[in-house]
Structure 1
Amino acid sequence: MDKKEKESLKRRYYKLRIRIRHADNRIFIFIFFLIISGTLWFLNALSKDYVTELDIPVNFVGIPREFKSNQQLPQNLTIQASGQGFSLMRHKITSRGVPFKFDIKQYFSNQKAGKEVSFQIITQLAQKQMEQYYGGEFSILDIYPRTISASFSTIVFKKLPVSFKGDLSFQPQFWQKGDIKITPDSVDVGGPQNVMDTVKKIRTQYIKIERINSLTEFTANLDDNGVFICEQPEVKISVDAEKFTEATIKLPIKVLNAPDRFNIMLFPDQTTVTYRIGIDKYESITANSFTAIVDYNQMSARDINEKIRVELIELPEYIRNVTYHPREVKYLIGEKK
């Protein structure tokens, strides 16, 4: 290829690049104006009035505490709304999760306590309140459903103690310190009359806590069994833990009810007690903390081969897993001189 041909190819290449660049600019300008015109069209469309249907979340309030619904009331209503496109679109975007409070207390004003109360909720009576709730952004033309069938049973309330239901496990060498504390320890619970006459307490829902080694606090929901109404649906549970150790102590065995004229000898005359105790109370235990006895009235012979049972009648309430040995001893009864 000679020099002239190379120069010709270069000129063609540069011309082609210029054409492509101009074409790219025209495409970019076209897309830009297309977006602008589409946006203007969209904004113009939203400025017009429309009639559409909207789903709005609702929460029925004003139900007296002595009534319980026999069925689940609707969580959403459908409204036919008229307004600017801007307002209707903004409502669809922002209104979710913000329920309208539908007050139905007026339906209970003339109702007497009984086994069941039934009535029809007329949704259109709340039309003005709904429009005010949504700031007058649109007009409500209709509400669906127009009526809602509702029935309620009469319930009675009484204060019941709370009982913990669950499993607690501790780290090795730790155990529960004191009682489980429940706050509050009793709550107001409502339910049908025939049920409330028999129920004595309300339990928490089952909960499992493992490897406790210090004061542990957690929240537990009350178990309503699908029947009860709990004005306070949850309680606070506190469980304390302490480290324990195992200890032993030797005790003299006392003889009860022995006549003064007899001398009672025991073989052996001591028993060894083994127990577990919290570390912080370990030093408080002495032999005087226990009483081991045998009862003369249970001795039937003077033969040394006879045995009598040893009883541990006094011991600290804060020790556990108590065992002692021997549990029986031989005895010899002799008259005093």
Structure 2
Amino acid sequence: MPIIKLSVSERRRLQVFITCLLLAMAAWVLTTLSGAYHFTIKQVINFKNAPQRRAFKALQSDSVEVTMLGTGWQMLFSKVNTYNTPITVDLHTLEHSNYIALNTQIAQLNKTTDAKHRIVAFTPDTLYFDFTNRVVKKVKVEPVLDIKYQQQYEESGKIQVKPSYITINGPGNVIQNIKTWKTDTLRLTNVNDVVSTTLPLQPAKEGNISIYPKSVQLRIPVEEFTEKTLRIPVKLINNPHYYNVKVIPQYVSITFTVPLSRYTEVDEDFFEATADFSLWEQGYSVLPVNITRIPAYCRIVKTAPRNVDFLVRK
């Protein structure tokens, strides 16, 4: 049973009161959030117009705290990173200075924002840089590949990268340690044809290093492979005393994969099998067979036998 019993007219007046109260609170919130406020957000720094004759390295973090002037709504949404976009700082004055005063660029930066959302100040307000000699160097491109081929298909030749070398530009103490430059990872599955594509290079991790070009042309020859078996002679090596040695057997059979387009042209002359006689002096009673010459587009599947006997005639 309700503690307070209200008549119909009283309940109606109470509902009106609560409705008016909620409307008043909503109006107050809207009025409050429409006002102007200062608030701080953290933003990442990007650089443009880097000096061409000086290599630089920032001596502080790549982000700054930005004091903004905006509405209460903008302050509210800034908490969920609505306005956390990069700040682009112009570095053209580094040609004759060792620091950048961010507050001198506020007017320029505000031209890219709406009139009700303005930058007021930065913390820190000055960026300092360390300078070294700028070095230009050419390095080899290293493609990063994750390719799965369809059954019986494989890479059938040398991967072509154009250009195979790129130019990097940056501080000498950093550039000297860079030997190669990697591409983004190329991921492909069920490949059964030639791969020809443009592959971007990985971006520089440091803002004071530039690369050119930023992408390369990649070509991977792909063909269908099949197996072939040949019988090739075993060549004895490392016999400095010229012992009279007979290898048993004198021939081995090799099974290998070869592209269909080259099946008929590949014969015994493309391969060489050797047995190292110096192993006899180390106590070996049989000599392992090594395939020491093989076309780049072939893959050995099996060698039979793997070891050979030998007789030394004195």
Question: If the TM-score is normalised by the length of the shorter chain, which range does it land in?
Answer: 0.5 to 0.7
C-alpha deviation, 1:202, in angstroms: 0.6
Q: 2-side partners of 1:47 and 1:251: how far apart? A: 89
The equivalent position to 1:244 in structure 2, one of 216, 221, 225, is 225
Q: 1-side partners of 2:292 and 2:94: how far apart? A: 66
SS at match of 2:59: coil
Letter in 2 for 1:68: F
**1:245–1:277: 8 Å Cα contact kept in structure 2?**
yes
C-alpha deviation, 1:159, in angstroms: 2.4
2:127 is equivalent to residue 148 of structure 1:
yes
Cα distance change of structure 1 residues 168 and 128 upon mapping to structure 2, 3 Å threshold = closer
The equivalent position to 2:260 in structure 1, one of 260, 280, 284, is 280
CA deviations on 1:127-172 (whole Å, 9 max, x unpaired) are 3223333233256554432333332333212222213467877676
Listed as ranges, the matches of 1:238-317 within 5 Å are 239-249=220-230, 274-281=254-261, 283-285=263-265
**2:57–2:208: 8 Å Cα contact kept in structure 1?**
no
C-alpha deviation, 1:329, in angstroms: 12
Question: Identity, % of aligned pairs?
Answer: 19
2:90 is equivalent to residue 103 of structure 1:
yes
Listed as ranges, the matches of 1:135-284 within 5 Å are 135-137=114-116, 142-164=121-143, 173-193=152-172, 196=175, 201-204=179-182, 213-215=191-193, 222=202, 229-231=209-211, 239-249=220-230, 274-281=254-261, 283-284=263-264
2:24 is equivalent to residue 45 of structure 1:
no
Superposed CA RMSD in Å reads 5.3
Q: How many pairs align?
A: 275
Q: Which residue of 2 aligns with 1:265?
A: none
Listed as ranges, the matches of 1:4-43 within 5 Å are 28-43=15-30
SS at match of 1:98: coil
SS at match of 1:35: helix
**2:58–2:128: 8 Å Cα contact kept in structure 1?**
no
Q: 2-side partners of 1:35 and 1:54: how far apart? A: 31
C-alpha deviation, 1:126, in angstroms: 1.8
**1:80–1:143: 8 Å Cα contact kept in structure 2?**
no
TM-score (norm 1): 0.57
SS at match of 1:178: coil
Q: 2-side partners of 1:318 and 1:140: how far apart? A: 62
**2:139–2:181: 8 Å Cα contact kept in structure 1?**
no
Q: Which residue of 2 aligns with 1:77?
A: 65
Letter in 2 for 1:149: Y
Cα distance change of structure 1 residues 166 and 89 upon mapping to structure 2, 3 Å threshold = closer
Cα distance change of structure 1 residues 219 and 59 upon mapping to structure 2, 3 Å threshold = same
Q: 2-side partners of 1:226 and 1:129: how far apart? A: 25
C-alpha deviation, 1:191, in angstroms: 3.9
Q: 1-side partners of 2:189 and 2:47: how far apart? A: 44
Q: 1-side partners of 2:59 and 2:201: how far apart? A: 22
Cα distance change of structure 1 residues 40 and 275 upon mapping to structure 2, 3 Å threshold = same
The equivalent position to 1:54 in structure 2, one of 40, 44, 55, is 40
Letter in 1 for 2:30: L
2:113 is equivalent to residue 125 of structure 1:
no
SS at match of 1:133: coil
Query: Unaligned 5+ residue runs, structure 2?
Result: 234-249, 273-290
Cα distance change of structure 1 residues 208 and 123 upon mapping to structure 2, 3 Å threshold = closer
**2:184–2:199: 8 Å Cα contact kept in structure 1?**
no
Cα distance change of structure 1 residues 121 and 323 upon mapping to structure 2, 3 Å threshold = same
Cα distance change of structure 1 residues 93 and 176 upon mapping to structure 2, 3 Å threshold = closer
Q: 2-side partners of 1:99 and 1:134: how far apart? A: 12
Q: 1-side partners of 2:186 and 2:122: how far apart? A: 47
Q: 2-side partners of 1:225 and 1:318: how far apart? A: 36
TM-score (norm 2): 0.60
Q: Per chain length, whose mean CA-contact separation is higher, i.e. which structure has more relative contact order (CA < 8 Å, sep 6+)?
A: 2
> Rg: which structure is higher?
1
**1:77–1:144: 8 Å Cα contact kept in structure 2?**
yes
Q: 2-side partners of 1:139 and 1:271: how far apart? A: 84
CA deviations on 1:62-82 (whole Å, 9 max, x unpaired) are 22255231435442332263x
Q: 2-side partners of 1:317 and 1:130: how far apart? A: 57
Q: Which residue of 2 aligns with 1:9?
A: none
